Amino acid sequence: MSRTLLEIDGLTRRFGGLVAVDALGFTVAEHEIVGLLGPNGSGKTTVLNLLSGVLRPDAGRIAFRGHAIAGLPAHRIARLGMARTFQLVRPLASLSCHDNVRTGLAFGRRRAWGAAADAEAGRLLDRVGLGGVRGSLPGELTYIDQKRLELARALALQPDLLLLDEWLAGLNPTELDAGIELVRSLNGQGITILLVEHVMDAIRSLCHRCVVMNAGRLIAAGLPAEVLADREVVRAYLGEDDNDRGGGHA
Amino acid sequence: MLLEVTLSGATLGGMYALVALGLTLQYGVARIMNLSYGELLVAAAFAALWFYTGVAVSPLVGLIVVPPLAFALSFGIYRVLLQPLVRRAKTRDALEVDSILATFGLLFVIQGVMLAIFGGAYFSYSFLAVPLQIAGATVAANRLLALVLAVVIGVGLYLGLTRTRIGTAVRAVAVDPVAAELVAIDVRTASALAFALGGALVAASGVLVSMFLTFNANLGVVFTLKALVVVIMGGVGNLLGALIAGLLLGLVENYVAVFVDPGLTLAATYAIFLIVLLVRPQGILGRASR
Amino acid sequence: MTVRDGLIGVVCLAGVALLAGLPFVVADYGLSLAINIMSYTVLATAWSLFSGPTRYVSLATVAFFGIGAYTTAVFVEALAWPLVLLIAMAVGSVVASLVGLATLRLSGVYFVIFSFGLAELVRQLVTWFEVNKTRTLGRYVFADITAAQIYWQLLALAVLVFAIGFLIGRSRLGLALRAIGDDETVARHSGIDVTRAKVALFVLSTVFMTLTGAIMAPRWTYIDPAIAFNPVVSFTVLIMALLGGVHRLYGPVLGVVPLALLFEYLLARFPNHFSIMVGLVFIVIVYLIPRGVVGLVEDTVRQRTAAKGAA
Ligand SMILES: Nc1ncnc2c1ncn2[C@@H]1O[C@H](COP(=O)(O)OP(=O)(O)OP(=O)(O)O)[C@@H](O)[C@H]1O
Ligand SMILES: [Mg+2]
């Protein structure tokens, strides 16, 4: 077992009366790919928002590379080496693809600028398969390519930990295979990945471990195959009255 | 002395709360940041002045006549001037910027008209300017009457918004326009109504204010600013918050005016505003946004 | 640097040289008009330096302009001129930093509201101070400065504001601002310290406003708070910048020239209805040319090329 990169403990966030994340705790080790699963509205995106600094937790601890980051502003967390994509893509609309990536390079850990940054931006766009559209505006890209662009922007931060919020959703089978390959290769390159996902094929083939949430709480953790067969997980996904059909899809 | 200052501060605070209630309707429901809001207050004050000194009609009658006119005028302004902006805006932020700009222009038009008619001089009229004794303190009858009327109007508005169908629709739009649309609330009409209602409220406040304050054509900006500060302090869209914040602001201002220096009242407003921004930017009763 | 950049540079230099020669060829009236246009050029360009990329409508231009003007009025007789300008810059930056730090970490509305009353606040504070401490409301500004000298100083300031705007556009700060303008959350997630960028830019933009006020003060021989903090100035700057277009550095000046001339005419023709006229002009601009002249031209060109591409 390698060193712990991310440690969450007692993480809680309320929206009015709703407890979206409820005393959640789990860890992610270096070089792992961990799947964060759960039915719709179970609080997965909220967890990522708490991690990356969009939201401030009401209670709980988040340790990332040994730093207590709960409640820190997002730019500080980003500079510590955590990057993310958004469930609904958010490209910087008036910036070209090239400039989108350059923002991550200029203000992330590398603070790269000038010719070196330009070259690196090009390399990152190539890496996600957008080599041909550097000068285009994000609005001219397909939805899938916008997702790729967002990934390249996240990679520009040179992250240790990458948070992917349903990054593989909505891809066709060929794109899905390429996407899975890309995520795997990023992991191979040393990036730890926390992945929110509904696509079961992707979870099975990518994740080393999974944690499952329901209504803000942790209900299971372990190897993907075990977790997906867990009775409580199946019940959470399929609803109380369903009989045991074995976890297979969401 | 302290009691007197507190009482007259409460009157002022009641006015601020009423003024802010209207603004919170316009901003919270119709999503219009109306910088010309205070101009309508001053216009109503001038109307009451004209009623009283020109045709010898009591400001109490003015209170019945002026707000409906302001309601109609505001409804017209919303439909003609602001709805095109609502239609054109892609996001809430875009609408905010557009409405700020458009109503900033409107501010100078309305102010210009009043300056052209009345000039920059200060006006006041003497209505019910008789001292009353309350628990040993002396209060002018017109102030007390204004406070009572403000309370009546405020309570009436509160009941109207919480107990009627239209009121519920208006509040629903304030919380979530998209969801409101889904449950078949006519968001456009509700917004127009809220904006017009805000106009009627500020006009009513203008009539009340004219009974006990001196005013001039340039005063609108200050009232707009104070109303905005109260709305932010109370938490946008929060009626009770606006009430508390309005009273607080009125009291503090009056204490500063009496015990420190009348030239520093706006500074006091800003000081309170700053404290709120630094300590509780979501407002006294508001919820955290992050 | 490409040939095109070099060519633009040469044209700019020639333009500045020509403008610098203006006081030798025009009469008094022409010079005062030129001073007016030049000061609004600095103000409007500085305004859009901040408000263009952040989309925060600042209504506080005259607060800083007035601070500059008052600084001159207070110190011009006692201190050397460069020192007066330095003090003006310092006072303006301190106020701007306080305002920026208090409001710019929150959403844009707070900033707008704060800036909306700022000029009035400063005006009342100055009035209070003058009445209670110095016991004089107005001040005479006795400075040994000719109109031509004022014009040249403003021209230098204009060159400076354009140069800085140009450099920001190519700097990290420029990229940060464009990202912030598009999506603040994403900008933060790219490691941008959004508040710091905004405050830095706000202070920078207000320094130009303060300096303009300081330089312009000797134009009035007498100033009082109502003259120095006249809200119409904030309003005029806003309209000019919007008419020209705030998303390009050269946009605002395209609004300044026609409107300065128009307002000159309106002020002479309808002195008592000036603010009504200006308000109406403004509303028309907001409705009909929301992206300014520059945006209008760009959109038209884009449509033309699109139509040609389709044909
Ligand atoms: N900013 C917010 N304000 C109020 N409620 C929120 C906010 N963000 C999330 N919620 C609520 O918190 C709950 C969890 O939402 P979240 O987006 O985290 O779910 P999720 O697991 O990501 O769902 P999905 O699979 O549909 O993406 C939901 O009920 C949602 O409505
Ligand atoms: Mg989600």
B23-62 pLDDT per residue, tens: 988 988 888 889 999 999 999 999 999 988 888 788 888 8
Token pair belonging to B273: 């505003």
Q: Which of A78, A93, A156 sits opposite C182 (nearest CB)?
A: A93
Give the tokens for residue A69: 């980051």
List the single best residue of B93, B253, B277 to mutate versus C (max C Cβ within 10 A): B277
Give chain A's domains with CATH numbers. Answer: 1-81+161-250 (3.40.50.300), 92-158 (no CATH)
CB contact under 8 A, B108 and C132: no
Q: Report d(CA C228, CA C218) in Å as an integer.
A: 12
Query: Looking at the partner chain, which of A79, A92, A109 has a beta carbon nearest the beta carbon of C183?
Result: A92
Whether A238 shows a pLDDT value over 80: the answer reads no
A133 pLDDT more than 70: yes
Verify whether the Cβ–Cβ distance C191 to A75 is below 8 Å: yes
Atom of ligand 1 lying closest to residue A216 CA? 14
Sheet holding A67-68, edge to edge: A18-29, A4-15, A59-64, A67-68
From A11, A15, A22, give the residue whose CB has the most ligand 1 atoms within 8 Å, as the site to mutate. A15
Answer for the pair A221, A46: CB distance below 8 angstroms, yes or no.
Answer: no
Q: Across the strands, what pairs with A29?
A: A4
CA pair distance C226, B120, nearest whole angstrom? 12
Q: What is the pLDDT of residues C34-69, one digit of tens each?
A: 999 999 999 999 999 999 888 888 999 999 999 999
Closest by Cα among C187, C166, C52 to A100? C187
C178, C182, C189: residue with CB nearest A52: C189
In chain C, residues with a C-beta closer than 8 Å to the C-beta of A106 are 172, 175-176
Contact B132, B146 (CB under 8 A): no
Higher pLDDT pick, A111 / C88: C88
Q: What is the C-alpha to C-alpha distance for residues C226 and A58, in angstroms, rounded to an integer?
A: 49
| Distance (Å, whole) CA B32 – CA B23 | 9
* Nearest to A120, CA basis, from A96, A144, A132, A104: A104
Q: Do C276 and B113 touch (CB under 8 A)?
A: yes
pLDDT confidence bin for A225, thresholds 50/70/90: confident
ipTM of the predicted assembly exceeds 0.90: no
Torsions phi, psi of A154, nearest 5? Answer: -65, -40
In this structure, what DSSP letter does residue B132 have?
A: E
Confidence at residue C164, expressed as pLDDT on a 0 to 100 scale: 95
| Average pLDDT of every residue of chain A | 89
Minimum mean pLDDT among A176-190, C85-99, C201-215, C263-277: which range? C263-277
Asked if the C-beta of C55 comes within 8 angstroms of chain A's C-beta atoms, the answer is: no
Q: Which atom of ligand 1 is nearest to the CA of A16?
A: 4
pLDDT for C243 beyond 50: yes
pLDDT band at A151 (very low <50, low <70, confident <90, very high): very high
Pairwise CA distance, residues A64 & A161, whole Å: 9
Question: CA-CA distance, A96 to A135, in Å (whole number)?
Answer: 5
**Domain map of chain C by residue range?**
3-310
CA A132/CA A47 separation, integer angstroms: 35
Of B108, B232, B261, the CB nearest to C279: B108
- pLDDT category at A247 given cuts 50, 70, 90 is very low
- Closest Cα of chain C to B40: distance in Å? 15
pLDDT band for position C207 (50/70/90)? Answer: very high
Is residue A243 predicted with pLDDT exceeding 60? no
Query: pLDDT-derived band of residue C70, with 50, 70 and 90 as boundaries?
Result: very high
Percent of chain A at pLDDT > 90 equals 67
Coil, helix or strand at residue A220: strand
What pLDDT is stored for residue C221 in this prediction? 86
For residues B152, B157, B162, B165, the Cα torsion angle rounded to the nearest 10 degrees is: 130
How far is residue A245 CA from its own chain's centroid?
Answer: 29
Closest chain C residue to the Cα of B220, Cα to Cα: C117
Query: What is the number of residues in chain A?
Result: 250
What residues of A are in contact with residue B288 (Cβ under 8 Å)?
56
For residues A7-29, give the mean pLDDT.
92
How far apart are the CA of A22 and the centre of ligand 1, in A? Answer: 13
Instruction: Please name which ligand lies nearest the alpha carbon of A56.
Output: 1
Q: Select the residue from C189, C194, C196, C246 to test the A interface by mutation, using most A Cβ atoms within 10 A.
A: C189
pLDDT, residue C282, reads 87
- Please tell me which of the candidates A54, A103, A156 has its beta carbon nearest to residue C179: A103
- The DSSP 8-state label assigned to residue A15 in this structure reads E
Question: Cα-flanking dihedrals φ and ψ of residue B138, to 5°?
Answer: -100, 125
Rounded to two decimals, the pTM is 0.87
Average pLDDT score over chain C: 89
Q: Of chain A residues 31-60, which have a CB less than 8 A from chain C? A: 52-54
Q: Which residue of B has its CA nearest to C282?
A: B105
Task: Of B14, B15, B3, B6, give the one whose Cα is nearest residue B254.
Answer: B6
Long-range contacts of A11-19 (CB under 8 A, 24+ apart): A11/A47, A11/A50, A11/A57, A11/A59, A11/A60, A11/A61, A11/A62, A11/A70, A12/A57, A12/A58, A12/A59, A12/A60, A13/A46, A13/A50, A13/A55, A13/A57, A13/A58, A14/A58, A16/B287, A19/A216
pLDDT at C2 over 80: no
Distances (CA, A) of C286 to B81, C62, C242, C303: 11, 21, 8, 21
Q: For residue C144, which of C95, C79, C190 has the smallest C-alpha distance?
A: C79
Return d(Cα C132, Cα C2) in angstroms, integer. Answer: 60
Give the angle subtended at the CA of C149 by the CAs of C146 and C152, to the nearest 5°.
155
CA of A65 to the centre of ligand 1 (A): 27
Give B88's contacts in chain C (Cβ within 8 Å). 290
Rounded CA separation C237/C115 (Å): 14
- Which H/E stretch holds residue C71? helix C61-75
Q: Residues near ligand 1 with C-beta < 6 Å?
A: A 15, 18, 20, 38, 40-46, 87
Burial class (CB in 10 A: 0-12, 13-18, 19+), C166: middle
Per-residue pLDDT in tens (0 to 9) along chain B, 290 residues = 778 888 888 888 988 999 998 998 898 888 888 999 999 999 999 999 998 888 878 888 888 889 999 999 999 999 998 988 888 888 877 888 888 889 989 998 999 999 999 888 888 887 777 777 777 777 778 888 888 888 888 888 888 888 888 888 888 887 777 788 777 778 888 889 999 999 999 999 999 989 888 898 888 988 999 999 998 888 877 788 888 899 999 999 999 988 888 888 888 888 888 888 888 777 766 665 66
How confident is the model at residue A1, as a pLDDT?
A: 53
Q: Contact, B24 vs B207, CB < 8 A?
A: no
Closest ligand 1 atom, residue A38 Cα: 21
Ranking A63-77, A123-137, A228-242 by mean pLDDT, the lowest is: A228-242
For residue C307, the distance in angstroms to the closest alpha carbon of chain A comes to 18
Q: Do B96 and C109 touch (CB under 8 A)?
A: yes
Q: Class for domain C3-310, per CATH? A: mainly alpha
In chain B, which residues touch A (CB < 8 A)?
287-288, 290
Q: How far away is chain A from the Cα of B154, in angstroms, using its nearest Cα? A: 27
Q: Which of B157, B257, B155, B147 is nearest to B200 (CA)?
A: B157
The whole-angstrom separation of Cα A176 and Cα A206 is: 12
Q: How far is CA C303 from the centre of its chain?
A: 32
Give the pair of three-digit tokens for residue B47: 């109307």
Whether chain C has a CB inside 8 Å of the CB on A104: the answer is yes
Give the closest-approach CA distance of C66 to chain B in angstroms: 17
Task: Report pLDDT digits (tens) over C100-141.
Answer: 988 888 777 888 888 888 988 899 899 988 888 888 888 888
Find the helix or strand (DSSP H, E) in which A22 lies. strand A18-29
pLDDT band at C307 (very low <50, low <70, confident <90, very high): confident
- Within 13 Å of residue C33, how many CA atoms lie on the same side as its CB? 16
